Amino acid sequence: MSPKDDWKDGSKLLEAAPLAYENPLFLNSPDGRVLRIMSEYVEPLARFRREQIQDTVVFFGSARFPSQEDAKRAMEQANSAGAENLEKLRAGVNSARYYEDSRRMAFLLSEWAATIPARRRRFVVTTGGGPGIMEAANRGAREAGSKTIGLNIKLPFEQNPNPYITPALNFEFHYFFMRKFWFAYLAKALVIFPGGFGTLDELFEILTLAQTQKLAKKILVVIYGREYWEKLINFQTMIDAGAISASDLDLFQIVDTPEEGFEYLRDGLTKHHLGQDRPRHVSEVAPEIAKTNP
């Protein structure tokens, strides 16, 4: 019997085709990209709502800065073994102070945020989820007994979830722009510790949005470590060249201690997002997730 005859008498039935949303060949194809992008919006949104997250404070900084205990241990091992990369290890010991300062500031912020009367969790410490400064901030928030968020992304190196992220708030993104969306959409403040290209990227992206008034809310920007940043960026050069206005420096605050940074955050968050200076049309009822002014 020919294939044509099989079709005529119905003796040979086709297997059911997979449902489109269960078809990995389609979902992972270029045609399925729009669904993958939507998934990185809708799935995190559902989890943030389930975990009662209203807004966040985002910490950025180098993934390469170790804790003090790790830096000292590496130096001791290198000295005993006669290692040749002592300069790099000494730099690690020096930069470890930023790890500890990030940890301390996140602790102070989370301890204070826990006292805010609200139906949802306010000003939750959020990071890129990896090691270094990110780990330190998640660690400090965890030590204060708070939930803490990690927005990870698949990278060829450095990026693995640190152990201090709240498991239900550990995210993995494929698309950088969706990860950036969740950093900006939920944030009421940004804390920038010394870091590399990624840190600079996030800093200038938020400053640009604030400068061009594309944000419907006040985002506080704290830049930590005057010594590092003044060596790296000469903002006065930008002013002298007419590239920015002198008033643009009011978009951020440079601090040098965890306590100074925390006090600036506490006062600013209270004024702009908890206090009497909020617009009068904003409801006194706790808003939905990340609600901003119209």
Write down the number of H helices and E strands in the chain: 11, 7
Contact assessment for residue 63 and residue 129, using Cβ atoms and an 8 Å cutoff: no
Residue 100: half-sphere exposure toward Cβ, Cα within 13 Å: 11
pLDDT tens digits, one per residue of 265-291 = 999 999 999 975 454 444 444 445 655
CA angle, 18 then 23 then 28, to 5°:
165
- 148 pLDDT band, cuts 50/70/90, is very high
Instruction: Kindly state the tokens that stand for 265.
Output: 């955050």
**Whole-structure pTM value:** 0.86
Amino acid at 173: F
pLDDT at 67 over 80: yes
Class of domain 51-67+96-274: alpha beta
Query: Could you give the angle at which helices 68-81 and 86-113 cross, rounded to 10 degrees?
Result: 160
Distance of alpha carbon 279 from the chain centroid: 27
Interior/surface letters 144-183, b for 16+ CB within 10 angstroms, e for the rest: bebbbbbbbbeeeeebebbebbbeebbbebebeebbbbbb
pLDDT tens digits, one per residue of 9-42 = 556 788 899 999 999 999 999 999 999 999 999 9
Contact assessment for residue 60 and residue 196, using Cβ atoms and an 8 Å cutoff: no
Listed by start position, the domains of the chain span: 51-67+96-274
- 94 pLDDT band, cuts 50/70/90, is confident
